[in-house]
Amino acid sequence: MKEAIIEIFKPDEMGRKINQSDLAKRLGVSKNIVSRWVRGHSKPSSKNIEKMLKLGFLDAKKLSKICTGK
């Protein structure tokens, strides 16, 4: 899961990836939780995945490929 989470984060409008602190603030979770997702020690809940999609932080096509294996 480690590579999967990193790969599906979308860059912002300036082409930069969102940092863990900013993502944590936007989702209302701790930076440690986001860090665990990125390192592959845990997975975001479906609720947090939905929030990241709505906020535009995840690439829906890549997420779909990861979830379906296609």
Residues of the chain with pLDDT under 70: 1-17, 66, 68-70
pLDDT for the residue 29: 95
> pTM for the whole thing?
0.69
pLDDT for the residue 3: 47
Task: Please give the structure tokens belonging to residue 29.
Answer: 């979770």
Q: Residues 9, 66: contact at Cβ < 8 Å? A: no
Cα 46 from Cα 70, distance rounded (Å): 20
pLDDT for the residue 9: 67
Q: Using CA atoms in the order 10, 16, 22, 27, what is the torsion angle rounded to 10 degrees?
A: -10
Class of domain 2-68: mainly alpha
pLDDT for the residue 64: 76
Q: Please, what is the average pLDDT of the chain?
A: 76
Q: Break the chain into its structural domains and give their ranges.
A: 2-68
pLDDT for the residue 11: 56
| Phi, psi angle pair for 13, to nearest 5° | -65, -20
